[in-house]
Amino acid sequence: MKIKSVFKIICVSGTIVLGSCSSDDDATPIAQVEAPATYEFEREGESTVSFSGQTTRIAMAEVIIGQFVDNTSTEAIIDAMFDHQENANDFEDTDLNASDKSVRSKTAASADYFSANVTDAAAIKADFDSWIKGQVDDVFPNWAVTATAGNPGVLQEAGGGSNRYVNANGLEYNQAFAKSLIGALMTDQALNNYLGTAVLDEADNVANNDNGVVADGKTYTTMEHKWDEAYGYVYGASVNPTNPNTTIGDDDSFLNKYVGRVEDDTDFTGIAADIYDAFKLGRAAIVAKNYTVRDEQAAILREKISQVIAIRAVYYLQQGKASLEAGTVDYASAFHDLSEGFGFVYSLQFTRKSDSNTPYFTRTEVQSLIDDLMGGTNGLWDVTPETLDAMSETIASKFDFTVAQAGS
């Protein structure tokens, strides 16, 4: 006899509804999943959410980028912060010093993109090292010298605005470092490491999650924790990490900040909710043991977070173009925007298509775009509005937005 089975379970921390239908008595039910109201999950009355390592790395990264505007700092000091070793006194914060975490160790270090590509991983880390060295060797000694084409120094924004400290090619190393880290650390680890099946389903993770077997001494299963670690790279510094969109854009200088900036653009309003909702539903699906829904939400996160990177790349290229086309060119403002654009273009190689194991732009394609931006004799001093438009069109063409939408 055919019997239809229906299952319904309410999760303590929210409203996860499991339901399924089958035409056979012995068929395995497929769980239907509803996300809870906030990112709160419990087991036996204790929270199962943990992403302290991500919070620590975000805090370390904030301190590191601050060193780029302290011309008394040294290459050794910044290098030590970047490649922090447990219990080394690299930071003023004793908790950061005690940590065994570092920013450099997780830069270009995802399982899906770099476990079998150590050559590119090493080259990317070397880029970050070179930006530190360039700031100390080239920019700091010229801190009070007016920059000109081919000569590092300082430029002041029109009307007595901010000082911008640039290398001989007009590039702000602090912006290149910070914005490239959004891709090489936050995006790469979230999309290409913790949300990938190579990490989520590693070893006996599925069996342990199915059977509620928690990690040694922890309240969470390993699969739950891996998903939370991806979440932490977006919300790890949030004032209220269970309900972070109330302050989205204000909680760190990295991915959180620019999800907020894109959300503030009326052309993209709703993207912050899309990202948060996908994280919640994917985590609920892990609790429900519905890996189809989990993977669907991971695909949404790849698409939306990659879109944030691309939108901001185009935005800064277009803002730089506008400054270059002004009657009196404000090189400080133009180069500041283009330096941020440099970092977001660099970050495109860490994006991830929703349905594949590949980025929207390969490293070779990104290098070509960087060459377009910086390839003149004097780098940004030579770039033209036409080149910036062409770059912007190339980026937008791989996504579902226009240059006009992203650039405003």
Domain contains 331: yes
Beta bridge partners of 276: none
Domain contains 251: yes
Domain contains 45: no
Domain contains 44: no
Cβ–Cβ under 8 Å, residues 19 and 31: yes
Cβ–Cβ under 8 Å, residues 60 and 84: yes
Domain contains 7: no
Specify the number of domains making up the chain.
1
Predicted local distance difference test score (pLDDT) of residue 1? 29
pLDDT in tens, 151-197: 999 999 999 999 999 999 999 999 999 999 999 999 999 999 999 99
Domain contains 256: yes
Domain contains 151: yes
Tell whether the model's pLDDT for residue 388 goes beyond 80: yes
SS3 (DSSP) at 143: coil
Range of the domain at 64: 52-407
- The DSSP secondary structure of 1-58, one letter per residue, reads -----------TTS--------SSTTPPP-------SSS--EETTEE----HHHHHHH
Percent of the chain's residues with pLDDT above 90: 92
pLDDT in tens, 334-362: 999 999 999 999 999 999 999 999 999 99
Whether the predicted model's global pTM rises above the 0.85 cut: yes
Domain contains 350: yes
